[in-house]
Amino acid sequence: MARYTGPKVRLSRRVGVPIADIPKHTTKRQLNPPGMHGYRGRRMRDYAVRLNEKQKLRYHYHVMERQFRRYVDDATRRKGNTGEVLLQLLERRLDNVVRRMGVARTIWAARQLVAHGHVQVNGVKVDRPSFNLRVGDRVTFKPGIAKLLRENMESMVGHIVPEWIDFNPGELTSKIVALPTSDQIPFEVNPNLIVEFYR
């Protein structure tokens, strides 16, 4: 299946939660079910509840199903709680770290910054949004993009950078200082239901 290129707000309405932290997605009207009056169907069964949790996470990180399945398999092989490890893997993607820094308003804008070659990791250009960062990695940007990044930061007044990222807004550099924990992720999701979905 090809990548979804339709209206992003439709995805928020489908899963019932805002998948991006911008007013377009967070208004009350957008969280109603699709349709003129909002479809009020029957209660969701167990399978539908788990599927909805999985889709929430996929849409939030803008990951296709096959790639998401690989993340689940990788998390299953590693030590620790599979749900927590899955969230750590997704949270440490390069496009997501750029979004968490507050220099891009959405995951789609962050992906574009990375894909166009404006982001460097440890001084080396990386144009893969799925690049997985490790503790100690330093993220910088090419000088020509600094003006746009500062404009984005001004439009996102009040954005809070998570504690596992050491961000220097003056120099537009950041460093991964720790692994993210589930309480540091500003998105409500139950990872255990997602693990159960794939079992």
The structural domains of the chain, ordered by start, are 8-90+187-197 (1.10.1050.10), 94-178 (3.10.290.10)
Global pTM value: 0.87
At 55-79, the pLDDT tens digits run: 999 998 999 999 999 999 999 999 9
**DSSP code of residue 145:** G
Give the number of other CB atoms < 10 A from CB of residue 14: 15
Judge contact between 24 and 164, C-beta under 8 A: no
CA distances 66 to 8, 22, 69, 108, 154, Å, are 20, 27, 5, 19, 36
Average of per-residue pLDDT across 26-54: 73
Q: Distance between CA atoms of 157 and 153, rounded to whole angstroms?
A: 7
Q: What pLDDT score was predicted for residue 165?
A: 92
Strands across the sheet with 138-141, in order? 124-125, 119-121, 138-141, 173-176, 165-168
Give me 117's structure tokens.
């070659």
Lowest model confidence (mean pLDDT) among 28-32, 76-80, 150-154: 28-32
Radius of gyration (C-alpha) of the chain in whole angstroms: 17
